[in-house]
């Protein structure tokens, strides 16, 4: 029930993290989320305000409190997925049945239609890969029911309630529901269901004021979530989005959605369109089928970004309504009409078969959707002929059975085998590929030895940036769709830190750059024994199996003070090494009102370096690799004996449309000496569009740049040496700060610093984020954005009792709006104000 990629890399870790934080009383900030981040703002896309997850957390906590279960681990959150999925599906079918019954459908057709929606393949797809997506399927039928109550009874209560729940639960899917509700209302207006419906102008007025009240009720969750979204950095999607494409075959080989055969038959029952209810759902089904084949529509639903087909549970609901209303009308059908429907459906299936060049049926198992369609035909004809309750029951059971048949084969072929979910097992969760024993033992030894709340361990399993959450330690990596943009800029633009793999929504490690480890609390480093590339100044302390733990011998105190100020504008064209040196010497600020120090010297020695082609030609900034792997060798002609590491920088972009190397489909490998990193190909939707690269390698006679066969733009070659003299002097300078009392608990940091030398600023390795407030000796002061992405504090002379507190942006204002909106809603409900009717 859990996907091997995002399921294990995001869903389980985030549930574990949030449960641990919430049950420890930390509701606002987590320093275990990468380098630290706001819970409401950066995890609102996932589970931080998910109503289903919050209820699960409460029940789990009570069971743990009553000693009916042990403290939940990663296995618990994996196993509980199945139980939650069963409960959620039962609620989805119940709420949808309620909606269909309100639409005047009889109980059996209403239930059948609801079951088709609840057991649609997109439900299993969502639960397996991105579990919180499935929660949206729960609220959609209630939202449509709320719309119907406004249209039929002029009652906005349910609509307001569901709008507030949807906005509170997940801001992303509330946007999706906003678009779906608009489509439903427009189609619904064209197909009135009763004579005395609320006027359109009155409806619009009701939707607006009740929607605004719902928005106000959700403010305490929605406002921080929107801030998190706006404070995120995601490169714009630059590819052309076509109006039409064929993402999958929803009749014979659906990857996203599968349309039941009975729905297709109903669409060809032309006499059914005389019925207004059938026309409504059939119209919605036809419209959404056309929408399914439009990447542009998928892009709109994904915030005008890369096309994502996440909205299509609405198609499943419309199809369920079509099946339900069609089933209710079957007793009126004539033989010739059934023949027309069978002919039309057969023709459509044949057209989809012939048009899909990728479709190959090597066995009946591959054709399970076609088999299900065939199984429907006989009961369809029998009920059309006999038209009695027994045949209705038999036909209804057949519709359910074929849908479950499809769901099970879909899970086996598309999810379990096609999506490698079958490899997710208890053994895998305890293996070195996810959470190995030797890895955990090393972490345990380090944690027993370390009490610095800012100390971090650089360790993650390849591609699993949330390893620190799984293995319960403070790390230097995270994978989340919403991240602090200042940190992403820090990695991608300001310091050009190579993470070992280009991808959006992630940051990881510090590129083996010793200065950054010392500045940002990177005290420990774990690697496999065979890895030779270890950051400068790290020495081995522990070993378990083939894993080794190293400790930074040049670690700087978490609290650093200085009266030396550099300005971002002065460092704009400086090298990453110069920026690191500036942070070692002082603090970097973005302030136009003060004068900064001179940029630290850092000579580019590329002009004293020989460039040699290897298995490639290099001309006009175009590198044409003709061998299977080739590139350039950089050979410094004059070397400084004090230099320990080289930093090589260059612009690199593949000139191929797509590339594949080392079994990575949309990536190609870049090697700089022993440093290995992967870059996205041009057709990947996960590329960062940041092609300026800086790699640290230990000093050697030559620096080799190696790429797979192909053409690349390679320009702006730069080469710098680092002798680490500034790092060693910074260590001595800041030794007095090693014993400064400091505590970090949840959203609060306390520091007592006696500023006897009249230092101007203090820097902390806490990411800068709106929501932090600082108090010095009881008075609020400005939180400064220092060193590009971290917190700086202006100090006073003498004793500084510093308290840093984090609350979500505008938290108290949004809490006030929520309370006032609830009062307003209750007041309106009680008094039923005339002008709002």
Domains plus CATH for the chain? Answer: 6-417 (no CATH), 437-555 (no CATH), 565-601+740-806 (2.60.40), 606-725 (2.60.120)
- What is the reported pLDDT for 201? 95
Q: Yes or no: say if 693 and 718 are a contact pair by the CB < 8 Å rule.
A: no
Nearest partner of 694 among 518, 567, 511, judged by Cα? 511
Q: What are the tokens at 693?
A: 């690269």
Q: 662: left (phi > 0), else alpha (psi -120 to 50), else beta?
A: left
CA 804, 807, 811, 815 dihedral sign is negative
Given this model, what pLDDT does residue 239 score?
82
DSSP code for 464: B
**pTM of this structure:** 0.93
Query: Among candidates 407, 314, 328, 426, which has minimal Cα distance to 369?
Result: 407
Residue-level pLDDT at 830: 77
Can you tell me the distance from the alpha carbon of 391 to that of 420, in angstroms, rounded to the nearest whole number? 41
At 237 the pLDDT is 84
Q: Is 620 helix (H, G, I), strand (E, B) or coil?
A: coil
**Token pair for residue 115?**
């079951």
Among the listed residues 133, 48, 149, 481, the one whose alpha carbon sits nearest the alpha carbon of residue 314 = 133
The pLDDT value given to residue 834? 56
3-state helix, strand, coil in the chain (%, to 5): 45, 20, 35
Which SS3 state, helix, strand or coil, does residue 34 take? coil
The string of DSSP codes covering 671-702 is EETTEEEEEE-TT-TT--S--EEEEEEE--S-
* Residue ranges of the chain whose pLDDT lies below 70: 658-665, 832-837
Secondary structure element (H or E) that encloses residue 645, with its range:
strand 645-654
Cα gap 339→747, rounded to integer Å = 68
Long-range contacts of 10-14 (CB under 8 A, 24+ apart): 10/46, 10/130, 10/466, 10/479, 10/480, 11/46, 11/81, 11/130, 11/131, 11/132, 12/74, 12/77, 12/78, 12/470, 13/74, 13/466, 13/469, 13/470, 14/43, 14/46, 14/47, 14/466, 14/469, 14/480
3-state secondary structure of 595: coil
């Amino acid at each position: 029930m859990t996907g091997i990629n995002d399921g294990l890399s995001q869903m389980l870790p985030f549930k574990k993290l949030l449960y641990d934080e919430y049950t420890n009383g930390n509701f606002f900030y987590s320093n275990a989320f990468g380098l630290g981040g706001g819970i409401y703002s950066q995890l609102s896309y996932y589970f931080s305000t998910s109503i289903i997850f919050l209820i699960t957390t409460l029940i789990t906590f009570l069971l743990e409190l009553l000693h009916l279960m042990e403290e939940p681990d990663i296995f618990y959150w994996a196993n509980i997925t199945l139980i939650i999925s069963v409960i959620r599906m039962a609620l989805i079918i119940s709420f949808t049945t309620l909606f269909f019954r309100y639409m005047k459908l009889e109980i059996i057709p209403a239930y059948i239609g609801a079951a088709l929606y609840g057991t649609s393949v997109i439900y299993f797809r969502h639960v397996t890969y991105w579990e919180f997506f499935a929660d949206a399927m729960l609220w959609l039928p209630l939202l449509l029911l709320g719309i119907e109550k406004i249209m039929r009874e002029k009652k906005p209560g349910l609509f307001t309630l569901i709008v507030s729940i949807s906005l509170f639960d997940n801001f992303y899917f509330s946007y999706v529901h906003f678009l779906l509700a608009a489509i439903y209302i427009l189609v619904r207006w064209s197909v009135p269901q009763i004579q005395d419906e609320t006027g359109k102008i009155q409806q619009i007025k009701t939707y607006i004021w009740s929607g605004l009240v719902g928005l106000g009720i959700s403010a305490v969750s929605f406002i921080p979530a929107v801030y998190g979204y706006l404070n995120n950095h995601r490169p714009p999607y630059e590819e052309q989005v076509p109006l039409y494409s064929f993402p999958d075959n929803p009749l014979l080989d659906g990857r996203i959605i599968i349309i039941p055969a009975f729905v297709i038959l109903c669409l060809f029952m032309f006499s059914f369109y005389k019925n207004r209810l059938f026309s409504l759902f059939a119209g919605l089904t036809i419209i959404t089928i056309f929408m399914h084949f439009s990447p542009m529509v998928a892009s709109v639903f994904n915030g005008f970004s890369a096309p994502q087909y996440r909205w299509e549970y609405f198609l499943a609901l419309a199809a369920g309504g079509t099946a339900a209303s069609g089933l209710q009308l079957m007793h009126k059908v004539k033989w010739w009409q059934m023949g027309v429907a069978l002919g039309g459906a057969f023709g459509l299936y044949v057209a989809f078969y012939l048009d899909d060049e990728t479709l190959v049926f090597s066995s009946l198992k591959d054709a399970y959707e076609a088999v299900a369609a065939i199984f429907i035909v006989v009961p369809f004809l029998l009920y059309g002929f006999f038209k009695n309750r027994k045949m209705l029951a038999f036909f209804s059971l057949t519709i359910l059975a074929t849908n479950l048949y499809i769901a099970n084969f879909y899970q086996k072929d598309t999810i379990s085998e096609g999506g490698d979910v079958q490899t997710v097992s208890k053994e895998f969760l305890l293996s070195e590929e996810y959470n190995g024993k030797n890895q955990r033992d090393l972490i345990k030894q380090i944690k027993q030895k370390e009490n610095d709340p800012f100390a971090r361990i650089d360790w993650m399993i390849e591609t699993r940036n949330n390893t620190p959450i799984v293995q319960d330690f403070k790390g230097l990596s995270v994978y989340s769709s919403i991240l602090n943009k200042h940190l992403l800029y820090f990695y991608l633009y300001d310091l050009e830190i190579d993470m070992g793999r280009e991808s959006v929504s992630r940051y990881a490690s510090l590129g083996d750059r010793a200065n950054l480890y010392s500045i940002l609390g990177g005290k420990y480093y774990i690697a496999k024994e065979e890895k030779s590339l270890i950051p400068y100044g790290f020495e081995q302390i522990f070993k378990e199996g083939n894993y080794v733990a190293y400790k930074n011998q040049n670690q700087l105190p978490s609290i650093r003070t200085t009266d030396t100020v550099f300005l971002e504008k002065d460092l704009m064209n400086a090298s990453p090494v110069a920026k690191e040196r500036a942070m070692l010497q002082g603090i970097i600020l973005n302030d136009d009102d003060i004068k900064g120090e001179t940029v630290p010297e850092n000579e580019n020695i590329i002009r004293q370096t020989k460039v040699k082609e290897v298995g490639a030609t290099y001309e006009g900034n175009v590198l044409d690799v003709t061998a299977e792997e080739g590139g350039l060798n950089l050979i410094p002609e004059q070397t400084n004996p004090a230099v320990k590491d080289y930093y090589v920088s260059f612009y690199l972009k593949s000139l191929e449309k797509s590339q594949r190397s080392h079994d990575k489909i949309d990536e190609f490998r870049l090697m700089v000496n022993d440093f290995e990193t992967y870059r996205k190909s041009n057709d990947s939707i996960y590329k960062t569009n940041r092609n300026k690269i800086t790699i640290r390698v230990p000093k050697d006679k030559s620096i080799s740049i190696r790429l797979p066969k192909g053409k690349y733009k390679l320009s702006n070659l730069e080469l710098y040496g680092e002798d680490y003299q500034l790092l060693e002097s910074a260590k001595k300078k800041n030794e007095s700060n090693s014993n400064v009392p400091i505590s970090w608990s949840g959203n609060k940091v306390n520091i007592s610093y006696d500023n006897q030398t009249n230092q101007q600023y203090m820097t902390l390795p806490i990411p800068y984020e709106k929501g932090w407030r600082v108090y010095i000796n009881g008075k609020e002061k400005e939180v400064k954005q220092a060193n590009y992405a971290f917190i700086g504090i202006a100090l006073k002379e003498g004793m500084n009792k510093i308290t840093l507190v984090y609350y979500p942006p505008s938290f108290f204002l949004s809490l006030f709006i929520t309370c006032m909106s609830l009062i307003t809603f209750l007041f309106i409900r009680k008094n039923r104000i005339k002008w709002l009717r």
